[in-house]
Amino acid sequence: MKVTVVGAGAVGASCAEYIAIKNFASEVVLLDIKEGYAEGKAMDLMQTASLNGFDTKITGSTSDYSKTANSDICVITSGIPRKPGMTREELIGINAGIVKTVSASLVEHSPNTILIVVSNPMDTMTYLVHKITDLPKHRIIGMGGALDSARFKYRLAEALEAPISDVDGMVIGGHSDKGMVPLTSHATRNSIKVSEFLSEERLNQVAADTKVGGATLTGLLGTSAWYAPGAAVSGLVQAIACDQKKVYPCSTLLDGEYGLSDLCIGVPVVLGRNGIERIVDVSLSDAEKEHMKASAEGVKKTNGLLEL
């Protein structure tokens, strides 16, 4: 199993590290445009192999896509991150150009690959990849919901004063401060609805804190987060590589599901060796349906800024 990660920055390197530590891939290629940077990150990570007990071979490349040839899975993390006070949507001007050239180069060298898009604004970048490559839709996957759901579970566990392993919940919708739709009505603590433990007001606070999860960290760190994003990407890569059939919310091209079409937005999907093997239609409350509709309008507005 060969995995390429483009962008050896904070998220790309974190993702490569988690993939290696989980020890399911034979090879990870890190590629970056900055001279020597990916080679340096790869060497540093390889020097953790005997300490962390993995056999995955990590190599680096400066813009040489021949090294990525025949990758089973490619991850795009190249692009600028936001600074405090910015929205993800403001990154579109620079990141659209980067994602365009990177995805074309990846597909040229790995025509059978499954592509995972991470660069922001992620739902719009995923849509862009559909527009400029001829990959089938089940092989183009946007990562955002897996991260947002992990943040939701963190906030739920905090409010419930319960261990995170007892908590389950999912966030669908656009990966943006306003567009996320935390499914509070479906969230559970060991199979019991969380509304049995938390007031509506506290649950609304959990949802609000979840939605600004990325902005909160950007304010604290001065740039956006990387540990949880890297771990979330590695989860998707493992689900595909190991044919796990796990359900994750991922950004995917919709064609009528959830009453939406011609956009990529986060919905629950089954991930296996073929990429997105099924879109799961979950029944939503009226409020969640309205929220999802507004979220889709936001994503479409950002898509409208693309020069296609």
Ligand X SMILES: O=C(O)C[C@H](O)C(=O)O
Q: Which residues sit at the interface with ligand X, rule CB under 6 A?
A: 81-82, 88, 120, 147, 175, 214, 218, 224-225, 229
Residue that the structure tokens 């994003």 belong to: 229
Q: Does 122 bind ligand NAD (CB under 6 A)?
A: yes
Q: Is 40 among the annotated ligand-binding positions?
A: no
Distance of alpha carbon 125 from alpha carbon 302, whole angstroms: 10
291 is catalytic: no
Q: Does 119 bind ligand NAD (CB under 6 A)?
A: yes
In the complex, least distance from residue 210 CB atom to ligand X, rounded to whole angstroms:
10
Q: Is 32 among the annotated ligand-binding positions?
A: yes
Distance of alpha carbon 216 from alpha carbon 106, whole angstroms: 33
- The residue at minimum Cβ distance from ligand X is 214
Q: Which residues pair with 266 in a beta bridge?
A: 173, 251
Q: Does 229 bind ligand NAD (CB under 6 A)?
A: yes
Judged by phi (left if over 0) then psi (alpha if -120 to 50, else beta), residue 52 lies in alpha
Q: Tell me the per-residue interface mask from 146 to 185 with ligand NAD, x by CB under 6 A, - otherwise.
A: -x---------------------------x----------
The total of other beta-carbon atoms located within 10 Å of residue 81's CB is: 23
Q: Does 77 bind ligand NAD (CB under 6 A)?
A: yes
SS3 category, 270 = strand
The total of other beta-carbon atoms located within 10 Å of residue 84's CB is: 13
Q: Which is nearer to ligand NAD, 117 or 198 (CB)?
A: 117
The two structure tokens encoding residue 42: 């790869």
Residues at the binding site are 7-12, 32, 82, 88, 95, 118-120, 151
- Active site positions, annotated: 175
Residues at the binding site for substrate are 82, 88, 120, 151
